[in-house]
Amino acid sequence: MTAFILVPFVGACVHVPPPPANQLVFVTTEVPYESSGLFEPVNVTGMFGKASTSTQLADIAYALSADHIELF
């Protein structure tokens, strides 16, 4: 994957209502990350900033351009 929503706890993205926008981070990466599942905890490092985004799942307040993604 090259984009995903980083959430504060397992399953947060599927709850209704979703977590507040200030608890969600939209992560993008140039190098695709191969995940073994939807609920995989990860550490992400890169450039972090404010960026309001709306998706079908939730409103998101922050964005992170990932340089490195690894399992937690």
Domains of the chain (ranges; CATH) run 3-71 (2.40.50.870)
Asked if residues 71 and 40 have their Cβ atoms less than 8 Å apart, the reply is yes
Render pLDDT for 20-71 as a digit per residue (tens, 0 to 9): 999 999 999 999 999 888 788 999 999 999 999 988 888 999 999 999 999 9
Please say if the pLDDT value at position 7 is more than 80: yes
Give the contacts of 36 (CB within 8 A, at least 6 positions apart).
none
Please say if the pLDDT value at position 11 is more than 80: no
